[in-house]
Structure 1
Amino acid sequence: MTLYVIVYLLFINIVTAKINGGPRGRFDDNHARPHGYVSTHHPHYTYHPPNHIYFMCKQCSSLVAYPVYHGTPPTYVYKYREYGGRYGDLLSGLALYNLGRASNEQWHYTLYERRPDEKCSLQIVDQNLFEETTFPCLMMSSFVDSSNNFLKNPHPLDITTAQINVRALVHNNGTVIKVTKDQECVIWHNSTIKNEHVMIPCALLKNYADTMRPHGLPVYVWLPLTLATVIGIYIFCQSCFTQKKSHIDETPCNPTLTTSYFSNNNTVTIH
């Protein structure tokens, strides 16, 4: 019984250590936040922002410097980077591009006034491809004309807030799309007042996404290894326990003491 308890406690300690402070981040308790959002923290990637991102578009004659966000990325960026499925790279790149524009000194879009009827989407277009997906409009706040917002929100949303939960909007829908230099990404902001759209090279969004790099071992790697280690320890201990018990069972309880010795070439046995 003691063996089972030891193995169980070992497994619980390893898993708890991984969740609370392992190389793939930690899970904090959820906390209620304003605006209907829930606080979650699950940083699976490290963010390495350069001073600027330099990119040459199709119509450009030279490299253009694009603004970069130098704060700690909000949780929703990490969520799209890891769990965004087919469009994870493009949407996380869009979020970082938007944060870079919003936090730049010539932009003032870190506070976003949401509209109840707004919908935002991303279209990927080239000669042989057309795909579309939706995303939270806060991720294109710096591209939206705020002068058309007549419904002044007394509680605007700060898009740089560390804890913004978008889990319900993140869809793991297949393998990540392969981004090429010929693809154009069109982001749409649709509302009853006005429809706006902006064209962005998809390769530029991919460059933004690549500033977030995975670190440590993912759960699907360390969890099977942990289970295999614990099972191996259990089997080894169980084998040792079985062999010891078998050895005890084979030993007679009252062995007959037999002593033999030789005296004058005659064998004498004492019982």
Structure 2
Amino acid sequence: MKKRVFFLVLALSLVLLATVAVANVEGIKMYVNGNEVKSDVPPVKQENRVLVPIRFVAEALGCDVQWDEAKNAVVITKNSGDKFLRGKNDPAQQNPSIHTNFVKAADLLAVLDDDKDGDLCDYRDGHSGGDSIANDPLVVDTRLKKDYDAGHIPGAIWISPAEEIAAPANLAALKEALEAHVARGGKNEIVLYCFTAHTAGLAAGVLGAEGLNVKNLRFGYAIAWEGTKQADAPIYAPREDASGKPVPYAPAAK
């Protein structure tokens, strides 16, 4: 009986290994919120179904995953923030002024375009104009990279989505970018933005707790800057793509 069980387990193991090998050959990829993610446990294609590691996917979506021995069950709990923001989104751990520390789109535009020629931050390489960097904050896009590439505030940089901005490597990159900005004569201030100011606001609170001077673009990029969603006085401000080329608005947008 023991031999039969042994050979049965061995046979099942070989089948599973073969299935994983096929999955690896096919190159199954996983994407979470538009970003490709990789796990030490690869997805498995089995009988026309794709099986993915639940802990990895759930945690990538900002959930806690625990094994309940008594119930013999996997327990998944949705959190209000990503794993790098989790535990830091308590108001007591945020910048105390985060709920009022906004910058209006029109005010940010005025600062970035001192000479009012429509070419923002034209002190950048490849631009020529009269804008001064002295009062300009470091503008950081916290949306997905594909959204940044499609169109963003001219002069803004991208490091990571808002949910990952507090990860050690991303936080270090942000501080390094701010130091370089200040060294060029820029203001020691960061302005974050997302589509609607919600996730950027959470990220701003976390970064404020890290001692950084951070503001959040009021109503966000899609509502206030572009006005592509129901907006509060949209300004249809200039946009540029990943190559630095202007992104025009459709005639009906204005």
Does the TM-score normalized on the shorter chain lie above 0.5? no
Higher relative contact order (CA 8 A, sep 6+): 1
Larger Rg: 1
* Structure (1 or 2) with the greater strand fraction: 1
